[in-house]
Amino acid sequence: MSGSYYVPASSKWPILMVVVLALLVIGAGSSLSFGHGFGLFLAGMVGVLVMMFVWFRDVIHESRSGLYDAQMDRSFRMGMAWFIFSEVMFFAAFFGALFYIRVFALPWLDGEGEKGISALLWPDFSASWPLLKTPSDAFTGPAEVIDPWHLPLLNTVLLVSSSITLTIAHHALKNDQRNKTKLWLLLTLILGFVFLVVQGIEYVEAYTQLGLTLQAGVYGGTFFLLTGFHGLHVTLGACVLTVILLRVWRGHFSSRSHFGFEAASWYWHFVDVVWLGLFIFVYVV
Amino acid sequence: MTSNSYSSAEGHIHEPPLRGIKRWLLTTNHKEIGSLYLIFSLVMFFIGGTMALVIRAELFQPGLQLVQPEFFNQMTTMHGLIMVFGAVMPAFVGLANWMVPLQIGAPDMALPRLNNFSFWLLPLAFSLLLSSLFMEGGGPNFGWTFYAPLSTTYAPPSTNFFILSIHLAGISSILGAINIIATILNMRTPAMKLMDMPLFVWTWLITAFLLLAVMPVLAGVVTMMLLDINFGTSFFNAAGGGDPVLFQHLFWFFGHPEVYIMILPAFGIASMIVPTFARKRLFGYRSMVYATASIAILSFVVWAHHMFTVGLPLAAQLFFMYATMLIAVPTGVKVFNWVATLFHGSISFEVPMLFTLAFIVQFTIGGLSGVMLAIVPADYQYHDTYFVVAHFHYVLVPGAVFAIIAGVYYWLPKWTGFYPDETLGRWHFWLSVIGVNLTFFPMHFSGLAGMPRRIPDYALQFADFNLLSSLGGFLFGMSQLLLIWVVVRCVRGGKPAPDKAWEGAEGLEWQVPSPAPLHTFSTPPEFIPERDSPGRA
Amino acid sequence: MTGVWLNRIWHAVLWIPVVFFSHPLLAKNLYGDSNLNLPVGVTHMSREVYSLHMIIFWICVVIAVVVFGVMFWSLIRYRKSKGAKAAHFHENTLVEILWTAIPLVILVVMAIPATATLQKIYDTSEAEMDVMITGYQWRWHYEYLGQDVSFFSNLATPPEQIDGREQKGENYLLEVDQPLVLPVDTKVRLLLTSNDVIHSWWVPQLAVKKDAIPGFVNENWTRIDEPGIYRGQCTELCGRLHGFMPVTVKAVSKEDYQIWLAEQKQQAVEKAAGNEREWTLPDLMAQGETVYNTYCAACHMVNGQGIPPAFPALAGSPLTTKAEGRATHIELVLYGKAGTAMAAFGSTLSAADLAAVITYERNAFGNNTGDVVQPAEIKQQLKPTE
Ligand code: HEA
Ligand code: HEA
Ligand code: CUA
Ligand SMILES: [Cu+2]
């Protein structure tokens, strides 16, 4: 173990990443605040993708040239695990907001509980979830909400099975069954992709037919906040899995050492678990 | 094609170091990145401090003299944000970068490239934040706590930039924390168990967990703000079914642990320095570790003590009051352990020790006023007055900042190979102590007398205290120029320091040469717990 | 010889922090407790809070004296320069248990009275009257529920005093045009809310501080023992003029309160009459100036120059000077502009005041349009929402 820990002498990717991020945030900020700069934002976005590509490419190179030892492998594992933990906390904030709104804020506005006196301001309001009618006319609630037992149920099935197919792929990889790995991984990706398409359909329906929009009061807000960020994570996870699939194709992983694969699958399972929470608390309950 | 000039599989880095600006931009070395963090933090300290001086100059006497209220609010807000996110946090990360690998016998941080990235995000985040001051409508003016709806519906247009810079700083902290955790858990020299780690390492490990748990929540809440501002959601607007108080819950769920993020590493530093200059082993190593962990755990269930006046249900008020008071117990354990370490020691008063002793005293004063704030009925009278301002500056300035300065004086010989000038250091110390107390002690009185926070002008009965505070603020601010002088001189030369720069010091960092060469511990150092562990029997 | 002196100085210096901490006591003795401490206040609750404050304060002082006492004694006694040799102990289970348990006990001792007081503060039952307090940027609105009496309470300190062009008065920044009048010996329930951002209503002498949160209502109560004027301020950052949003409570005897209430009702009737009649230009201008300086000058400045770009100038603006702008001008003042700081004043000001301020804006600051806007026109415009 001694002296084998790989420390790259220097690297230009981090600083270049910061540069493209600068484009991204300056573009985003000025287009949101002052209505121009969207192009810069897009350029930054592309830049970030490129940088991720080259940065990861280097890491993969190093890994394949045998520069990493078991200790390095553990560093990567810890890094990924704790990164996922921080993502869990990110979603926890949103779930917390959802519970707070439902358990405290809305009943108070409706005259129940310790701050029920607030109903003085909203005499006509009655709390319900889904919140179809908001306290003030300044916001219009959704006309209808999404039936959990149609598309969302389908999506649940899709995502849960994709976790299973991914596990099968992983086992196959551990047993050195290359083709089986590719097959199941591909299947996982397809399931993920279909999930995204279904969610897209659901969003279109929400906007065009149900009046369920970001602006539709706090129901719309929490709905899109939670499902939207989840959707972004699925997209990201799918991108990562695509890269992993390409790498399997190129014969990158061995049956014993395939941390890239594992990290991607942790991430995928995490996204899956978040979905289960969403399905229960956003759609069903 | 790039820096892919890989070193050989078993070796370290054989490439000649880059020169000039490129070296700093591309570095992956924990010592260089540590220095970058420290320099950045110092710059921010001066920028934030200059803003504090603008505040103090305006408050020198009643009436509006120098600045308009909207600019004053921007100064207050930026001062808080910059000191917290730009000065104190990066300073601790810088110290961690420098010292954690040295203290655990690691060749570097676990994820060196990520380390570089974490650092360089900060200059971006803060230039963005500072640039918002010059935008149409001005910069953030809603306090460092940016309560909705002042920060959403009623905010200046530049608020999106503020949100994005918080995101960037947050990503930096999260990646930094991941790196520190991986380093501590994975890179220790073989024989070093967790319970053999120096306390600075322990406090940072726990701090890193706090960071990972709460920075994402901050990211979440600013994201919700972004949506409320730009996309018509109503999370913090009752008209659509939301609640402005929800913002505060989310913010303080981050915000309270955040204040411990700013103090736990300070406890770590004090726990290194006190034994060194008392020439006696730290009293109660284990209880120090457990106390740190308890503080961290408790810090998740006390957030609403910042919200006692928002009208929480009675049961919630009581719960948060009791939980908050409870934190005094583990914190007391720490203070008592330090005092017990001094007791029957063989004490000398070098500059790092002076700052540490002042830290202990002043932090305790701030902690005690914290306990007063925790008492809900009394907090009704203290809340959002200068009494609170006094409290948190006591724990932050002669608290966190003094600990950082103590750490800098303590480890400068290791960084530069020279001792910092003792005479100048003493001047720096005494002027700082006098200045800091002159600034913040009178604030207890202006607060009790009824002066609200965040006001550019005040009633006549507060005039005397404000005059003192302003004088003190300028004295303290100016004395910090000495710090720069000391550091610059120490980098240039001075009395050479041996490997073990302080007679009573213990730990692996004192086994490498002073100044520490760029690469240390390519092979893990020998560590015999029975002999070297600070927790040995 | 010099060594001894240096040592003495060194000793003295080491004691500085101790002296510093005992300073509140020193100071208290020196100056009396005029404004170095919380006011005792004029309600039962405020006195209870005060004594709670003193209890916890003294407990903290004692803790500090003990801890710093041991610490400084050790520092002096175990100096290396005096040849102190370090002992080797580094653990002691007994003392560690003790110094965990004793603080815990002390905390319980503090928590008991705190809990009792808090429960009383939360008991708003059996109030004899209700006042609804609404925070606005940057003034308070008081509504006596069930009495048809309501009014705004604005900062009364003239801008000249703030800018230093005039001597500052005794109640600089703490004076209002119309205080909240309350009867003594009456349990008054205070209901708090806000029209825009979060404000916080604080009167130290009553020991009442509660946030006013838009969209929600908070409860509190007070029962004042002595007639008098009690001053406080808004204590939640609420934007530009947060520091200029005083709270003034005038406590009067029950009889005086009834007289005052009757007067207020009478005035409301007169005010309503003002909305019905025709006004002359000079009358409108005079009334308009008062209204403008109270409600509009905070943003648009006394001279109508505003603070561009945040707050537009009214002097010479097309809206206020051109005939085509007239309708929009009225509309804007009545309904405000969503998403900006320009609030809707249609429900805040009376028709007469609105007419007056709009007339004023069209004729002051060199706008000189000669336009007259009558209350009747305003009422016409306001109709649809009524
Ligand atoms: C480093 C930062 C730091 C630290 C360590 C602390 C520590 C503590 N803080 Fe502080 N606090 C802040 C930073 C910090 N705080 C900031 C920035 C704010 C304002 C935010 C804003 O609004 O802008 C704030 C505000 C704040 C409030 C809200 C006040 C208000 O707005 O109304 C409260 C209320 O409970 C509080 C309490 C405490 C307590 C109980 C501790 C405890 O941890 C202290 C424990 C320490 C001791 C008690 C001393 C040592 C112990 C002994 C010697 C043992 C014996 C003691 C007893 C038995 C009492 N703090
Ligand atoms: C770690 C954090 C930290 C630190 C170190 C400080 C340091 C100081 N703070 Fe601050 N402060 C906060 C955190 C901190 N503060 C927070 C969180 C708030 C709340 C914000 C809010 O309400 O939202 C606050 C609010 C706050 C207020 C209340 C403002 C208000 O309510 O309106 C005041 C008022 O006096 C103040 C003063 C000071 C002073 C005088 C210092 C001094 O210690 C500063 C020392 C000065 C210098 C270091 C200046 C050095 C500069 C020179 C010597 C000039 C040369 C210049 C150049 C070379 C550029 N601070
Ligand atoms: Cu209203 Cu501050
Ligand atoms: Cu806190």
Q: Where are the domains of chain B?
A: 20-524
B378 touches chain C (CB under 8 A): yes
pTM for the full predicted model: 0.93
List the chains bordering chain B where 3 or more Cβ pairs fall under 8 Å. A, C
The Cα B149–Cα B240 span in angstroms is 13
For chain A, the domain total comes to 2
Write out the DSSP string of B30-76: HHHHHHHHHHHHHHHHHHHHHHHHHHHHHTTSSS--SS-HHHHHHHH
The Cα C307–Cα C315 span in angstroms is 12
Give the Å distances, CA to CA, from A210 to A49, A145, A202, B233, C210. 35, 7, 10, 17, 41
pLDDT for the residue C43: 94
Q: Is residue A200 part of a domain?
A: yes
Residue C209 CB less than 6 A away from ligand 3: no
The secondary element (H helix, E strand) that includes residue C42 is none
Helix axes C2-21, C44-77, angle to 10 degrees: 160
Tell me which architecture the domain covering C129-272 has in CATH: Sandwich (2.60)
Q: What is the SS3 assignment for A139? A: coil
Which one of A37, A65, A93 terminates a domain? A65
- A-proximal residues of B, 267-326, CB under 8 Å: 311, 313-314
Residues A101-115 have a mean pLDDT of 92
C341 chain-B contacts, CB cut-off 8 A:
154
* Residues of chain C predicted below pLDDT 50: 1-6, 8-33, 385-386
Q: What is the SS3 assignment for C221? A: strand
Q: Is residue A169 part of a domain?
A: yes
Contact present, C132 and C143 (Cβ < 8 Å): yes
Indicate which of C123, C189, C211, C216 best probes the interface with A, i.e. most A CBs within 10 Å of its own CB.
C216
Contact present, C204 and C38 (Cβ < 8 Å): yes
Comparing C-alpha atoms, which of A141, A149, A183, A152 is closest to residue A165? Answer: A183
CB pair distance less than 8 Å for B107 and A7 = yes
A14 chain-B contacts, CB cut-off 8 A:
26, 113-114, 116-117, 120
pLDDT for the residue C384: 58
pLDDT digit string (tens) for B324-377? 999 999 999 999 999 999 999 999 999 999 999 999 999 999 999 999 999 999
Q: Is residue A139 part of a domain?
A: yes
Residue B306 CB less than 6 A away from ligand 1: yes
Instruction: Note whether A16 and A99 are same-domain residues.
Output: no
At a CB cut-off of 8 Å and minimum separation 6, what does C178 contact? C151, C152, C153, C154
Please work out, in degrees rounded to the nearest 5, the angle formed at the alpha carbon of residue A257 by the alpha carbons of A252 and A263.
85
CATH 1.10.286 correct for C2-122? no
A117 touches chain C (CB under 8 A): yes
Contact present, A236 and A263 (Cβ < 8 Å): no
pLDDT for the residue B146: 96
- Ramachandran quadrant class, B521 (left: phi over 0; alpha: psi -120 to 50; beta: rest): left
| Predicted complex ipTM | 0.92
Please give the structure tokens belonging to residue B346.
Answer: 């063989």
Look at strands C180-183 and C246-252 and give their pairing: parallel
CATH of the domain at A93: 1.20.120.80
pLDDT for the residue B166: 97
Instruction: Note whether A24 and A80 are same-domain residues.
Output: no
Instruction: Note whether A131 and A55 are same-domain residues.
Output: no
Please give the structure tokens belonging to residue B84.
Answer: 């917290």
Write out the DSSP string of B212-275: HHHHHHHHHHHHHHHHHHHS---TT-GGGT--HHHHHHHHHHHHHHHHHHTTHHHHHHHHHHHH
Contact present, C382 and C311 (Cβ < 8 Å): no
Q: Which residue of A has its CA nearest to C217?
A: A118
pLDDT for the residue A59: 87
pLDDT digit string (tens) for B460-479? 989 999 999 999 999 999 99
Is the previous residue joined to B24 through a cis bond, with omega within 30 degrees of 0? no
Instruction: Note whether A141 and A45 are same-domain residues.
Output: no
Contact present, A51 and A67 (Cβ < 8 Å): no
C173 touches chain B (CB under 8 A): yes
pLDDT for the residue B15: 57
pLDDT for the residue B3: 35
Helix axes B159-186, A13-34, angle to 10 degrees: 150
A117 chain-C contacts, CB cut-off 8 A:
191, 217, 219
Instruction: Note whether A121 and A228 are same-domain residues.
Output: yes
Instruction: Note whether A35 and A156 are same-domain residues.
Output: no
Please give the structure tokens belonging to residue B32.
Answer: 């260089």
Q: How far is CA B91 from the centre of its chain?
A: 7
- B-proximal residues of C, 291-320, CB under 8 Å: 307, 309-310
pLDDT for the residue C383: 65
Comparing C-alpha atoms, which of B234, B241, B333 is closest to residue B283? Answer: B333
The Cα A159–Cα C283 span in angstroms is 74
At a CB cut-off of 8 Å and minimum separation 6, what does B50 contact? B477
Contact present, C114 and B376 (Cβ < 8 Å): yes
Contact present, B487 and B408 (Cβ < 8 Å): yes
Q: Is residue A3 part of a domain?
A: no
CB pair distance less than 8 Å for C191 and A120 = yes
Instruction: Note whether A32 and A112 are same-domain residues.
Output: no
Contact present, B403 and B269 (Cβ < 8 Å): yes
Instruction: Tell the residue number behind the tokens 């004192």, with chain if given.
Output: B510
Interface contacts B/C by beta carbons within 8 Å: 295
Taking the CA of residue B324 as reference, the ligand 1 atom at the shortest distance is 40
The Cα B71–Cα B75 span in angstroms is 6
Q: Which CATH superfamily groups domain B20-524?
A: Cytochrome c oxidase-like, subunit I domain (1.20.210.10)
Q: Which of B240, B245, B246 sits opposite A139 (nearest CB)?
A: B240
Instruction: Note whether A225 and A168 are same-domain residues.
Output: yes
The Cα C186–Cα C182 span in angstroms is 8
Residue B368 CB less than 6 A away from ligand 1: yes
Contact present, C382 and C351 (Cβ < 8 Å): yes
Q: How many helices (H) and strands (E) does chain C have?
A: 12, 10
Helix axes B89-104, B199-230, angle to 10 degrees: 140
Taking the CA of residue B144 as reference, the ligand 2 atom at the shortest distance is 23
Burial class (CB in 10 A: 0-12, 13-18, 19+), A250: exposed
Q: Is residue A249 part of a domain?
A: yes
Question: How many Å lie between the centroid of ligand 3 and the Cα of residue B299?
Answer: 29
Q: Report the percentage of chain B scoring pLDDT > 70.
A: 97
Contact present, B138 and B70 (Cβ < 8 Å): yes
Contact present, A10 and B23 (Cβ < 8 Å): yes
Q: How far is CA C166 from the centre of its chain?
A: 24
Give the confidence band of A2 by pLDDT, cuts at 50, 70, 90.
very low
Please give the structure tokens belonging to residue C48.
Answer: 């209870």
Please give the structure tokens belonging to residue B459.
Answer: 């009633």
Comparing C-alpha atoms, which of B459, B311, B313, B307 is closest to residue B384? Answer: B307
Indicate which of C10, C71, C337 best probes the interface with B, i.e. most B CBs within 10 Å of its own CB.
C71
pLDDT for the residue B16: 61
Mutation choice for ligand 2 from B41, B73, B79, CB with most ligand atoms inside 8 A: B79
Is the previous residue joined to B515 through a cis bond, with omega within 30 degrees of 0? yes
Please give the structure tokens belonging to residue B400.
Answer: 């966190």
pLDDT for the residue C386: 40
The Cα B449–Cα C35 span in angstroms is 5
Containing structural domain, residue A12: 8-65
pLDDT for the residue C31: 40
Mean pLDDT by runs of 10 across the 537 residues of chain B is 34 59 89 96 97 96 92 96 97 97 94 94 96 92 95 92 96 96 94 94 97 97 96 93 96 96 97 96 95 96 96 95 97 96 94 97 96 96 96 96 97 96 95 96 94 95 92 96 96 93 93 91 90 87
CB pair distance less than 8 Å for C219 and A109 = no
Give the number of other CB atoms < 10 A from CB of residue A103.
12
Rg (CA), chain B: 23
Give the number of other CB atoms < 10 A from CB of residue B484.
12
The Cα B234–Cα C111 span in angstroms is 38
The Cα C142–Cα B247 span in angstroms is 27
At a CB cut-off of 8 Å and minimum separation 6, what does C372 contact? C279, C281, C284, C359
pLDDT for the residue C166: 87
The Cα C263–Cα C254 span in angstroms is 14
What number does CATH give the domain C277-385? Answer: 1.10.760.10
Q: In what order do the strands lie in the sheet with C246-252?
A: C180-183, C246-252, C228-234, C199-203, C208-212
Instruction: Note whether A97 and A36 are same-domain residues.
Output: no
Residues A140-152 have a mean pLDDT of 88
B336 touches chain C (CB under 8 A): yes
The secondary element (H helix, E strand) that includes residue A115 is none
pLDDT digit string (tens) for A12-61? 899 999 999 999 999 999 999 998 889 999 999 999 999 999 998 888 88
At a CB cut-off of 8 Å and minimum separation 6, what does C104 contact? B329
Instruction: Tell the residue number behind the tokens 């020790």, with chain if given.
Output: B353
